[in-house]
């Protein structure tokens, strides 16, 4: 089994993170924004696992478990809000929710 | 707590009750509270004066607490009762009580009755503080307090614009005098290091630096202090340069005119000068000014009173003229005579105003004397009472006005700060007084009834014994008040020996002084013949230029309007967009620009926020790492 260098892991992680972030910014549909958020969280997870394996420590995997839990909790709340939004505005376009305009 | 200290408390309590319960109090309750408090205060002051006259000391003091101290000088809230303030509290509470009694009935149907009585009570509190104060700062508190109440009560019927304007005018004009007065207080404190009245009067005589001119000053401190105090007195007492507010102040309800603008507040200036006699004696030039101001005012007001149409304005000008007499007396150094005239004037002028109020009420708020006439038959009691008041005003022998006015006139000729010319002024003024009084009586009570035939004389007053009671007591006081001799000579210091002159009064002076009113009456009996006889020819006010000029108070209003008010308004209009304000507005402009920029960034769009968040994070990392 060949050792994967940490640089590659981090490059993958950054790419995933950027894809996720661009998704959050560019997408108008809230469902896709939530999915992009998941991508970003998983990018962070990749970085943790990669770092954990380099230092031969379990901490990275433990942190990933934490991130997963957080992601699950977040998506539960997010989906619930999504349903409310659909009921109320009959759309999932996030730009409708701009009442905080200064 | 001593009786003296509690004296202003009764009206104060009543004021607090009335102002906090307001319209929830019924008429009966409200009038019991306010008139009862005044009765208690009147009773109390009578008791106090009795105590004062029987005790060995000539002064009763009541110290309550120390207000503040400046350096070594302490300003206390404490009261000081001597013969002068005793006269004043008797007038304020006694006449005040009777006027409150009258007002309770006069204002019965007004919807803001409690507010009216509350202000009246507050006025009494302020007036008592003014006359009882033992130092000038407390006196000034009362001084401003009565000014405030005068403002509130002139503008009591605030729905009408003219009333509000009159109130504002009274407030602003008296404020000019008050400013002079407060500068005078500072000057007194600077040169004598005390604000206690008794101490100042004492120190003024003994402090050399106060009375002598310093190196490069044309006049001594005493001169300036007395002049500035005179400024305050002139404003409050409606004397020559600042007299224009008093006729307009008649916009207020009639009891207010009786209480504030005839009997008590307007005489505060006289009280102030009498109280500070120690300072004024050190400045004989200023006493001469006081005498001349009084003399000229009494003539001007007398002439103006001759041309008025409004019954209350005649009385207002007459008040001004009588205060002119008091000023004349003070200026001539006849302190007792001035204060005596203050007292008798309070009696008969309150009587005149209240009777006029009763007449006005009976005629359904008709104040124009050219629309009255023939009231002697319709309102005989009021007419008699009015005649009594006028007899005192004219100073017919035997009435109280006679004693006090003769005392003033007698002191003028030989006084070093007055003299024969002012004596002639006073005599001419007495002549004018009798002429305008006759004109008023003829027009209002004699001749043909000029009000509409079908006008029902309201029996509001006819039935009210209480209201007549107040008037009768005042009439008795006006007739016999002169028999009480007010001897205050022990209270006032006399002239410096150097200025006492030795002019002897000729013996014919008294005869002329006594005869003058009769000459006036005989003159007007013939001159105003068409006013008193019943004729069919219509009687209207003259519109000749000279009469209109006199009716408008000899053009002082116009003069001040063109000299002061119009230029002031012009400058104010020029600077409408206040220059300094614009500079300050730069700050606001700067803030507003930043606000606009920042509020654009708050688009409310979630994706914008996320993008901004991410980009700034990147930027931050770039800054940190590079």
φ, ψ dihedrals at B414, nearest 5°: -95, 5
Instruction: Give me the residue from A26, A28, A101 closest to B604, CB to CB.
Output: A101
Residues B86/B52, Cβ–Cβ less than 8 Å:
yes
**A to B CB pairs, distance under 8 Å:** 36
pLDDT digits (tens, 9 = 90+) for B223-251: 888 899 999 999 998 888 888 888 888 88
Give pLDDT tens digits for B547-584: 888 888 788 888 888 888 899 999 888 888 888 888 88
Q: Which residues contact B590 (CB under 8 A, 6 or more apart)?
A: none
Give residue A83's domain range.
28-92
CB of B596 within 8 A of CB of A91? no
Strand-pair category, B73-81 with B60-70: antiparallel
Domain spans in chain B, listed from the N-terminal domain onward: 543-576, 580-625
Largest Cα separation within chain B, whole Å, is: 114
Under 8 Å between Cβ of B188 and B225: yes
pLDDT in tens, B411-447: 888 777 777 888 888 889 999 999 999 988 888 888 7
Give chain A's domain count. 1
Class of residue A61 by CB neighbours under 10 A (exposed 0-12, middle 13-18, buried 19+): middle
CB distance B181 to B140 below 8 Å: yes
Report the gap between the CA of A9 and the closest CA in chain B (Å): 20
Asked if A96 has any chain B CB less than 8 Å from its own CB, the reply is: no
Q: Sort out which chain B residues have CB atoms less than 8 A from A21's CB and list them.
A: 610, 614
C-alpha angle B189-B242-B288 in degrees, rounded to nearest 5: 65
Please report the sign of the dihedral spanned by the C-alpha atoms of residue B265, residue B266, residue B272, residue B274.
negative
What's the pLDDT score for residue A16? 94
Picking from B600, B604, B614, the nearest residue to A25 by CB comes out as B614
Tell me what the pLDDT averaged over chain B comes to: 85
The answer to whether B493 and B275 are in contact (CB under 8 A) is no
Could you tell me if A39 lies within 8 Å of chain B, comparing CB atoms?
no
H-helix or E-strand containing A8?
A: helix A6-26
Distances (CA, A) of A80 to A34, B523, B559: 12, 105, 82
Which residues, at least 6 apart from B100, have a Cβ–Cβ distance to it below 8 Å? Answer: B34, B35, B38, B117, B120, B121, B255, B259
Q: Do B610 and A99 touch (CB under 8 A)?
A: no
- Name the phi and psi angles at B69, rounded to 5: -135, 140
Residue B413 contacts residue B419 (beta carbons within 8 Å) = yes
Is A37 domain-assigned?
Answer: yes
Q: Is residue A38 part of a domain?
A: yes
**What is the pLDDT confidence band of residue B497, given thresholds at 50, 70 and 90?**
very low
- CATH number, domain containing residue A86: 1.10.287.3510
pLDDT tens readout for residues B247-305: 888 888 889 988 888 888 888 999 999 888 888 888 888 888 889 999 999 899 999 98
Question: What length does chain A have?
Answer: 102
Whether B490 and B58 have beta carbons less than 8 Å apart is answered as yes
User: Which residue from B326, B366, B358, B360 is spatially nearest to B342, judged by alpha carbons?
Assistant: B326
Contacts of B618 in chain A (CB under 8 A): none
CA distances from B283 to B199, B223, B453, B496, B560 (A): 17, 5, 60, 10, 29
Residue A33 lies in a domain: yes
Is A74 within the bounds of a domain? yes
Chain A residue numbers with beta carbons less than 8 Å from the beta carbon of B598 are: 102
- Max Cα–Cα distance, chain A, nearest Å: 57
Provide the shortest C-alpha distance from residue B586 to chain A (in Å).
Answer: 23
- Has residue B26 got a pLDDT over 90? no
What crossing angle do the helices spanning B465-480 and B380-394 adopt, rounded to 10°? 20
Instruction: Give me the pLDDT at residue B252, please.
Output: 85
Q: How near does any CA of chain A get to the CA of B609, in Å?
A: 9
Banded model confidence at residue B498, pLDDT cuts 50, 70, 90: very low
Neighboring chain A residues of B602 at a CB cutoff of 8 Å: 100-102
Residue B459 has a pLDDT of 56
Interfacial residues of B (vs A; Cβ cutoff 8 Å): 598-607, 610-611, 614
For chain B, say whether A94 makes contact (Cβ under 8 Å).
yes
Distance from C-alpha of B195 to C-alpha of B139, rounded to nearest angstrom: 10
Residue indicated by tokens 């300003």: B75
Sign of the CA dihedral running B106, B107, B110, B111: negative
Chain B residues close to A24, C-beta within 8 Å: 607, 610
**ipTM computed for the complex:** 0.82
**Which uninterrupted H or E stretch holds B319?**
helix B311-331
pLDDT of res. A99 = 78
Using CA atoms, how far apart are residues B305 and B439, in angstroms rounded to an integer?
10
């Amino acid at each position: 089994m060949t050792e994967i260098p940490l640089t590659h892991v981090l490059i993958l992680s950054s790419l995933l993170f950027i894809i996720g972030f661009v998704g959050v910014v560019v997408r108008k549909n809230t469902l896709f924004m939530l999915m992009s958020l998941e991508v970003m969280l998983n990018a962070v997870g990749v970085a943790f696992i990669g770092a954990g394996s380099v230092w031969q420590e379990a901490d990275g995997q433990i942190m990933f478990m934490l991130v997963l839990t957080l992601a699950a909790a977040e998506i539960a709340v997010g989906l619930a809000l999504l349903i409310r939004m659909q009921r109320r505005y009959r759309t999932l376009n996030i730009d409708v929710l701009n009442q905080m305009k200064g | 707590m001593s009786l003296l200290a509690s004296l202003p408390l009764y009206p104060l309590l009543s004021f607090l009750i009335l102002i906090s319960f307001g319209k929830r109090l019924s008429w009966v309750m409200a009038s019991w509270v306010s008139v009862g408090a005044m009765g208690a205060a009147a009773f109390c002051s009578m008791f106090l004066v009795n105590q004062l006259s029987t005790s060995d000391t000539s002064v009763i003091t009541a110290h309550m607490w120390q207000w503040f101290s400046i350096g070594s000088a302490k300003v206390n809230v404490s009261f000081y009762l001597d013969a002068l303030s005793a006269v004043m509290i008797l007038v304020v509470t006694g006449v005040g009580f009777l006027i409150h009694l009258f007002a309770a009935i006069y204002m019965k149907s007004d919807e803001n009755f409690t507010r009216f009585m509350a202000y009246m009570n507050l006025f009494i509190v302020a007036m008592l503080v003014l006359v009882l104060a033992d130092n000038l700062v407390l006196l000034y508190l009362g001084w401003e307090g009565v000014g405030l109440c005068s403002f509130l009560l002139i503008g009591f019927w605030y729905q009408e614009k003219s009333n509000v304007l009159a109130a504002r005018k009274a407030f602003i004009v008296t404020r000019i005098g008050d400013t002079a007065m407060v500068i005078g207080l500072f000057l007194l404190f600077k040169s004598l290091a005390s604000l206690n009245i008794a101490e100042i009067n004492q120190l003024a005589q003994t402090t050399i630096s106060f009375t002598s001119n310093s190196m490069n000053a044309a006049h001594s401190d005493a001169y300036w202090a007395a002049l500035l105090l005179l400024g305050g007195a002139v404003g409050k007492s409606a004397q020559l340069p600042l007299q224009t507010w008093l006729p307009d102040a008649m916009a207020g309800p009639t009891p207010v005119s009786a209480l504030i603008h005839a009997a008590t507040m307007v005489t505060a200036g006289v009280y102030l000068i009498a109280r500070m006699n120690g300072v004024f004696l050190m400045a004989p030039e200023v006493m001469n000014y006081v005498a001349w101001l009084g003399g000229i005012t009494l003539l001007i007001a007398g002439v103006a009173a001759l041309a008025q149409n409004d019954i209350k304005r005649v009385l207002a000008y007459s008040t001004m003229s009588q205060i002119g007499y008091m000023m004349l007396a003070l200026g001539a150094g006849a302190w007792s005579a001035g204060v005596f005239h203050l007292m008798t004037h309070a009696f008969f002028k309150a009587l005149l105003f209240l009777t006029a109020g009763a007449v006005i009420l009976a005629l359904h708020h008709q104040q124009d004397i050219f629309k009255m006439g023939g009231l002697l038959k319709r309102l005989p009691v009021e007419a008699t009472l009015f005649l009594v008041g006028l007899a005192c005003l004219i100073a017919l022998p035997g009435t109280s006005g006679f004693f006090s006015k003769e005392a003033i006139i007698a002191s003028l000729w030989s006084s070093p700060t007055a003299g024969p010319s002012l004596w002639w002024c006073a005599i001419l003024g007495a002549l004018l007084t009798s002429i305008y009084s006759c004109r008023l009586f003829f027009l209002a009570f004699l001749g043909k009834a000029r009000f509409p035939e079908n006008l029902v004389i309201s029996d509001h007053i006819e039935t009210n014994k209480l209201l007549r009671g107040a008037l009768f007591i005042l009439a008795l006081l006006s007739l016999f008040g002169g028999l009480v001799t007010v001897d205050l000579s022990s209270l006032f210091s006399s002239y410096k020996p150097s200025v006492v002159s030795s002019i002897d009064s000729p013996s014919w002076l008294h005869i002329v002084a006594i005869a003058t009113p009769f000459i006036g009456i005989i003159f007007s009996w013939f001159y105003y013949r068409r006013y008193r006889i019943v004729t069919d020819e219509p009687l209207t006010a003259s519109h000749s230029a000279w009469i209109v000029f006199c009716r408008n108070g000899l053009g002082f209003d116009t003069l001040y309007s063109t000299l002061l008010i119009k230029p002031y308004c012009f400058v104010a209009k020029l600077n409408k967009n206040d220059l300094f304000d614009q500079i300050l507005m730069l700050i606001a402009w700067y803030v507003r620009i930043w606000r606009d920029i920042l509020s654009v960034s708050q688009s409310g769009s979630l994706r914008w926020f996320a993008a901004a968040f991410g980009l700034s994070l990147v930027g931050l990392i770039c800054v940190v790492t590079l």
